[in-house]
Amino acid sequence: MNGLVPRTVAMLLGMALIAAGAGVMLGAHWGWGLFCSGVLALLVYHLRHLAMLGRWVSGPSTETVPESSGIWDDVFSKLYRRQRGEIRQRRRFARLLARSQQAGRALPYGVTILDAERQIVWCNDSAEAHFSISMEGDVGQAVTNLVRQPEFAAYINRGDYAEPLELTTARKEELILSIQMVPYVESHHLLLSRDVTQAHKLGIVRRDFVANVSHELRTPLTVLIGFLETVRDLKLDATRSRDYLNLMAEQGRRMQRIIEDLLTLSALESAPQPPGGERIDMAALLAQVRNEAEALSAGRHTISFEAEAGVDLAGNAGEIASAFSNLANNAVRYTPAGGSIRIQWRAVGEGAEFSVADNGIGIDAEHLPRLTERFYRVDRSRSRETGGTGLGLAIAKHALARHQATLAIASEPGKGSRFSVRFPKSRVRAAQPHSVAVDITSAGATFAQDLTPIHQYKT
């Protein structure tokens, strides 16, 4: 028989039977005496266990069930099993709660829970960063007291949240947020915030880019049309006509160069990263860079060239050659005749460095951060005279970033410039044994060694 009551009744019946037997054999006194003692013992046993149960229920920790014996064993072991199940369930819920709180905190979007009075109930890490608030100190505060911008307060109090609000925060670094209120439980709201600074900047860059491309193409096109009309409307002799046609061809070539450079840039942006497996023969590549620079200089500069043997790169040879050539050609174009240029390739630490130094016109510090922007030229007319599109460094930066290289420049007006490209260990390979060391140094070149400031481009 299972259960406390039936087993107690069974025990009482057993005791009554034994007591009745004793009464018949030893007399009624003995029988009643025995029965009363049995009932008393049973009562004491039950009272002891009830007291244990009472203490356990009202005790501080209900995790461990008290030791029991006899017919109470069953009750206590059922309690124990139920208790274990509840503890397991509670722990699972606690884990789930902690995990969803962690997920909420780690979201890249800002989430702030506001009550009906627009007071902060909870917020995650991103919201803390977006609004400069803190979970510890600002819970219970009205959000409009903490973000004190009229347009924000107007949006929060408006009640119509169909459209998000774009808010330029009053913080130093000009953070632009997209903010939206979403109804949540019991007249609470979720205040969602998203950092759209980059997207905003990108929009401006795109608009500027379209304006720049149109402007850059319109200039040669206007000149071209002007010449065409002159040739059409005026009776020109054969020599003049040829001169005009040559000038027109030059403008046409300029437009072609711009378009080719733009296509190169867009191809670089959309192409996958160059694989690390393809070894570039640096001796050949550097010889090509040097030949191009010497041809462009046509003997007007002293060009020194030092290349450390045994250092090769892994990546795309075309992209590296185009980046290096642009740096070397820039040095030639922006260094007056009689100046010196030094091109170097060497191992540095565990990586490698390519650098081009010149003692040419140099660049004013204010221009340094913008040099790698598309179409950015310090002196537009001078660059145009030398055939520049202002896209060379933008292409170089992209190509180098794809090889995890960093570009740095040190320059001072009147003293010269030094452009250096650092490649990480992961891109450097020991050269093939048969490759020939190229090491030609021409004497007499002087360089300003202490060029400042140095600008390191983010790649």
330 binds ligand ATP (CB under 6 A): yes
Q: In this structure, are residues 127 and 181 in contact, taking their beta carbons and an 8 Å threshold?
A: no
377 binds ligand ATP (CB under 6 A): yes
| From the list Mg ion, ligand ATP, none, partner contacted by residue 360 (C-beta under 5 to 8 A by kind) | ligand ATP
How many other CB atoms are found less than 10 A from the CB of residue 11?
17
d(CA 324, CA 317): 10
Burial 115-134 (b: 16+ CB within 10 A, else e): eeebbbebbbebbbebbebe
d(CA 70, CA 10): 14
Per-position x/- string for 251-270, each x denoting binding to ligand ATP as judged by CB under 6 A, each - no binding: ----------x---------
Pairing of strands 302-307, 340-348: parallel
335 binds Mg ion (CB under 5 A): no
Instruction: Provide the token pair at 305.
Output: 């060239």
Which residues 413-432 are close enough to bind ligand ATP by CB under 6 A? 417
360 binds Mg ion (CB under 5 A): no
Tell me which stretch binds Mg ion (CB under 5 A): 79-87, 104-112, 126-134, 325-333: 325-333
How many other CB atoms are found less than 10 A from the CB of residue 280?
22
339 binds ligand ATP (CB under 6 A): no
Total number of residues that touch Mg ion (CB under 5 A): 3
Q: How far is the CB of 341 from Mg ion (least distance, A)?
A: 14
Which residues 13-72 are close enough to bind ligand ATP by CB under 6 A? none
Tell me which stretch binds ligand ATP (CB under 6 A): 158-166, 299-307, 381-389, 398-406: 381-389
Tell me which stretch binds ligand ATP (CB under 6 A): 113-121, 127-135, 263-271, 357-365: 357-365
d(CA 130, CA 117): 21
Q: Which residues pair with 157 in a beta bridge?
A: none
* Residue among 147, 289, 361, 400 that touches ligand ATP (CB under 6 A): 361
| From the list Mg ion, ligand ATP, none, partner contacted by residue 358 (C-beta under 5 to 8 A by kind) | ligand ATP
Q: Which residues pair with 343 in a beta bridge?
A: 305, 356
340 binds ligand ATP (CB under 6 A): no
Instruction: Provide the token pair at 46.
Output: 């039950």
Q: Kindly calculate the radius of gyration of the chain based on its CA atoms and give it in whole angstroms.
A: 43
Report the interface residues with ligand ATP, using CB under 6 A. Answer: 261, 326, 330-331, 334, 358, 360-361, 363, 371, 376-379, 383, 388-393, 417
